[in-house]
Amino acid sequence: MNNSKDEDKDTLLGQNRQKLKSSELCSHKAVLLILSENLFGKAFIINKPLITIGRSKECDISLNDPLISSEHCRIENGQDGKYYLEDIGSTNATFLNRKKLKKKMHLLYGDRIVIGNTILRFYLEEEVADG
């Protein structure tokens, strides 16, 4: 039995996919996984060239943590296909693998990011390798 709401949603999703430009898509997606108590297990898929993280609802990833700035940091998928983390003038800094971020840094699989009281892990999309 077809549900008209499901059909409408599928049609809308199809239209939205067509509106995306190839420059808005990443060659490989990445995931941020929250490991801190406040949102343990929540995951965010990074599937566009630039995402902002902060407390503001205007950010791509909005986190309810009083130690996070309105716009705290950003993750960029560079033209080289690599992901980069950059602090954008936050009050309480951004930490990558326990070191305070002072400049834009290349992210690697499993990197630990701390902003405020929130701990995140960075993971890249993987493909099944033939055995």
pLDDT digits (tens, 9 = 90+) for 75-102: 999 989 899 999 999 999 999 999 999 9
pLDDT for residue 19: 37
Identify the pLDDT of residue 122: 98
Beta strands in 8-57 (DSSP E): 30-34, 43-46, 50-54
User: According to the model, what pLDDT value does residue 26 have?
Assistant: 55
Exposed / middle / buried, residue 123 (Cβ in 10 Å: 0-12, 13-18, 19+): middle
Of 58, 60, 43, 46, nearest to 125 by C-alpha is: 46
Place of tokens 């077809």: 2
* Rounded-to-integer distance, Cα 109 and Cα 131, Å: 21
Q: What is the pLDDT of residue 17?
A: 38
User: Strands 61-62 and 50-54, how do they pair?
Assistant: parallel
